[in-house]
Structure 1
């Protein structure tokens, strides 16, 4: 039989995934899971019919409490708040293998979830992402099954128009991102414009620490020109790395040895439709530490347009 520690270690990635999807912050998710671990040590686990259900319930409830507190802080956040990005894929640096095959970790999806109240977010994630039965959701939220069904229904309706609309294969997404990164590093503005949807949007998070846009920028041509202008101003320092960010291929933009932003892209397979740019240094600290040296498994585009593939990109799924 598994001991208490063995059970927790085996389920920790799932618990961390639940907390991260609830909070949009890996640092806060790790704190929640640590709290759950302390409670687990005090629990009579041998008397539990379903230890996994107990742990998921405890994680969800603590995440709801943490999110209620966090939402107050986010109301006073300077500029637009975006989730903390995480590197995903086959790299050993991947935080606890957060991705699960049937789950959605994209920055676009997590950003949309911010529109939901804490309990609604929990019910929606448990049902739509983790495929949890309504009876278990009811026990987790201490509500009736009928109430939980209504919460999930309302959440679906609230998010219907805002959830990412495109289902794009990893291969098509990667192909477009490699073409775009090459055009960007070559300062090829016409090619960059051609790969942007006319109605594309760019959303940035500077956290009041570095400059960013106070509201989304709309228009593919304007966005391409913005990225192009940044390249011209500091072209000798620019380095672009393609990396799997929250399960999809995105861009890490460096100026010299400093990570300036982590950029997550939504595409329709042919053009870029949305970019989320995380510039807040506090939310980039983990990635900066992981990428202290150029790892294997990334495509690197240097400021002179030269391209060096250290190996095939893994894990963009």
Structure 2
């Protein structure tokens, strides 16, 4: 009973950080909560006296659970149709509460999570634990059944695959907001030329409609195609939209009454929008908690 109480205190004190680890690994808040539940169950079978550093031990425990979940996800024969996007973290007042801020620290936007989804589970774990949470490679190595040198190589390979992608936004949120506001103004007016001015020539527009495919094209690339589509649907859709922080960056939410019907994550690089991620999946939107 003494160990159980001690584990409970340590686990709860570190829950925001552990949830952030799981979110980066899984790209899903609901899956992250499942991972924490499984990690908590595993603590009940552990000996607290044998643990040298509870911080590192809990992070690696959650990492073990997450890599098991990622491998199970990849092993499923059925794959979802359309485009997959992460569950967004949203705020409407320009700030995030401490737990939400921990979730999306270090510019972990929707676009970066999409790219991270393409990584091998072991690469993703090595990158997340080492580069984002400072876990030493000798602690990562047993989780991925590799040597510390091989674990370092996994993180390096992940880093190379992420480098050069247009997923790291301008750090100045007010600048992002000005670009997003210009985009929203042009969308409301159906202004094709105005949209072209704020879209990167190689912009990528992804839509996750979940169980409702056909609501919008799953993928568009290039400023002309994205501007044409946005100008066509914008005057109707944009009337429901309002500014928000989406995963810590300037974004948009759409509401019908009190219900959130869409979340739009935008990546602004050099004053142009390079990525637009539109979440329409009702299951993911049902889990959206507006931090305000």
* Range into which the TM-score falls when normalised by the shorter chain: 0.7 to 0.9
Report the Cα offset of residue 215 of structure 1: 5.1
Q: Distance in 1 between matches of 2:120 and 2:222?
A: 30
- Provide the alpha-carbon RMSD of the alignment: 2.6
Q: Distance in 1 between matches of 2:280 and 2:143?
A: 35
Which residue of structure 1 lines up, in the alignment, with residue 214 of structure 2? 211
Q: Secondary structure at the match of 2:242?
A: strand
* 1:1-317 equivalence runs, <5 A: 3-73=6-76, 76-87=79-90, 90-91=95-96, 97-99=101-103, 101=105, 103-162=106-165, 164=167, 167-212=170-215, 216-233=219-236, 238-255=239-256, 257-287=258-288, 290-291=289-290
The superposition leaves residues 233-286 of structure 1 with CA deviations (integer Å, 9 ceiling, x where unpaired) of 567xx3212111111111112355543321111112422111011111111112
Q: Distance in 1 between matches of 2:57 and 2:50?
A: 11
Question: Which residues of structure 2 form unaligned runs of 5+?
Answer: none
Report the Cα offset of residue 75 of structure 1: 5.8
The superposition leaves residues 18-37 of structure 1 with CA deviations (integer Å, 9 ceiling, x where unpaired) of 11111111101101101111
Change (3 A) 1:198 1:74: farther
Q: TM-score w.r.t. structure 1 length? A: 0.80
Change (3 A) 1:162 1:190: closer
The superposition leaves residues 132-164 of structure 1 with CA deviations (integer Å, 9 ceiling, x where unpaired) of 222222244342111112222222233334362
Q: 8 Å contact 1:79–1:205 — kept in the other structure?
A: yes
Q: Secondary structure at the match of 1:116?
A: coil
Change (3 A) 1:257 1:211: farther
Change (3 A) 1:196 1:96: closer
Change (3 A) 1:71 1:42: same
Q: What number of residue pairs does the alignment pair up?
A: 286
Change (3 A) 1:186 1:37: same
Change (3 A) 1:79 1:9: same
Q: 8 Å contact 1:185–1:240 — kept in the other structure?
A: no
Q: 8 Å contact 1:79–1:212 — kept in the other structure?
A: no
Whose RCO is larger (CA < 8 A, sep 6+)? 2
Q: 8 Å contact 1:168–1:269 — kept in the other structure?
A: no
Q: Distance in 2 between matches of 1:232 and 1:36?
A: 47
